[in-house]
Amino acid sequence: MNQQYSNWRMSVAPMMDWTDRHCRYFHRLLTRHTLLYTEMVTTGALLHGDVARHLRFDAAEHPLALQLGGSEPADLALAARMGADWGYDEINLNCGCPSERVQRGAFGACLMREPDLVADCVKAMVDSVSIPVTVKHRIGLDHNENYGFVRDFVGTVAKAGCTVFIVHARNAWLKGLSPKENREIPPLRYDIALRLKHDFPRLTIVANGGLRDSSALQAQLQGLDGAMVGREAYHNPWWLAGWDAEFFGATPSTSSRETIEQAMVGYMEREAHEHGTHWSSIARHMLGLYNGLPGARHWRQQWSDHRLKHLPAREVAALAQRSFRPRDADIPALA
């Protein structure tokens, strides 16, 4: 990668139930340089649960960040150290999730009300690991659109040693909206991220929220250090195949959708052999690969058809690929 670019120039957002290790392996086949994030992992899950299940990843996924959820500095320090020991390239603290479940755990977006506590959490993690510790947050809570709120939050947390802030450019409404509505209803205000960059020029500021095409990404990259894409990257993954060339100055990829699919079949076979993972747990992440092409719907149906689960992945791939090949009835008879 051209070193003139920030390590956070392009990234795929952490998304619960979506950006698991299988999804990230798929995304890495599409883009070599984009930073990938795990789903949020709570400190309790690591300190009291199955660590390997939460932290295992394929070496091909690098560069890779672990997002943590928690609010106890000592627990976060220990969890961050575990992440670093497992080989992650970054530890990210979730200060942006508005779900009621996360609020009951006293972390996520509600932490923005307690910048001193977040600073203590960040300092504990920074003191425990040598890899970057970053924060993902909103620009405000509920209907408070006072810029000073997020400015003071960033300033306080930066003093604790965080130099990278991923700014979801919407307020988080902690009451009255579902997590889905919180991604759509509070208005986007990218100008707040720009003001943060102006006020904290030495910090790395990354924009997140509502970025759905390359022109929107380029607009953010004019004044900020990076852009993070969430659901659009998941639903239209082939977009990622152009990112290395467009945003990192790399040689354009020569991979086709079919070669990516075949690489995923190989991965499915390895996962089945090594971990007993059924291919359906992996295939769900690549259902958008052919979006927009004739035959894409039939292709998706093959990979998501529960009646085919008894077949090996390679046979399902062969059935799915027939979606893009002429049927015998469509081939003109030879004279």
**Amino acid at residue number 187:** P
Q: What is the dihedral of CA 79, 85, 91, 97, to 10 degrees?
A: -40
Nearest one of 72, 89, 83, 102 to 35, comparing CA atoms = 89
Cβ neighbour number for residue 334 with a 10 Å cutoff: 4
**Amino acid at residue number 18:** W
Separation of alpha carbons 10 and 248, rounded Å: 9
Buried b or exposed e, range 276-313, using 16+ CB within 10 angstroms: ebebbebbebbbbbbbeeeebeebbebbeeeebeeeeb
Whether 23 is catalytic: no
Q: What is the DSSP string of 88-134?
A: -SEEEEEE----HHHHHTT-GGGGGG-HHHHHHHHHHHHTT-SS-EE
Separation of alpha carbons 63 and 132, rounded Å: 12
* Active-site annotation holder among 97, 110, 121, 162: 97
Which residues are catalytically annotated?
Answer: 97
